[in-house]
Amino acid sequence: MQDMKSDIQNLKTDMQDMKSDMQNLKTDMQDMKSDIQNLKTDMQDVKSDIRKLNVRVDNLESQLKQTERNLRKEIHKECSLVLDEVERVHTILDKHKADKTMHPAWL
């Protein structure tokens, strides 16, 4: 009979330990749920940041393309101006060269 009482007491102690373990598991599970929720929030923040960065990169790419177009136009314009000036100088030189009365150095 004494052994049975002891066994029952041991069972009660084991049950209490198991209840305590279960409570600890529940607490751990709740902590994990909270951590997962925080991770989800962080992921949403990261996604939002990535979207914002994508918009900024798109804007920068657009600005870069526009700047490139503008620079190409300016380079083309400058080249045209230089060629026009070269042509003007050649015309002047050709006139001087053709006019034998202007200067004897052209002979």
Is residue 68 included in any domain, yes or no?
A: yes
pLDDT at 101: 75
Is residue 82 included in any domain, yes or no?
A: yes
- Tokens 């034998």 sit on residue: 100
Is residue 65 included in any domain, yes or no?
A: yes
pLDDT tens across 58-80, in order? 999 999 999 999 999 999 999 99
Measured CA to CA, the distance from residue 2 to residue 25 in angstroms comes to 34
CA dihedral 16→18→21→23, nearest 10 degrees, is: -70
Residue 103 has pLDDT above 80, yes or no: no
**8 Å CB contact between 96 and 103:** yes
Is residue 73 included in any domain, yes or no?
A: yes
pLDDT tens across 27-44, in order? 999 999 999 999 999 999
Q: Give me the number of domains the chain comprises.
A: 1
| Nearby residues of 102 by Cβ (< 8 Å), 6 or more positions away | 96
CA distances from 38 to 47, 68, 98 (A): 14, 44, 88
* pTM for the structure as a whole: 0.58
Query: Quick one: tokens of 97?
Result: 């060269």
Domain holding 82, by residue range, is 48-100
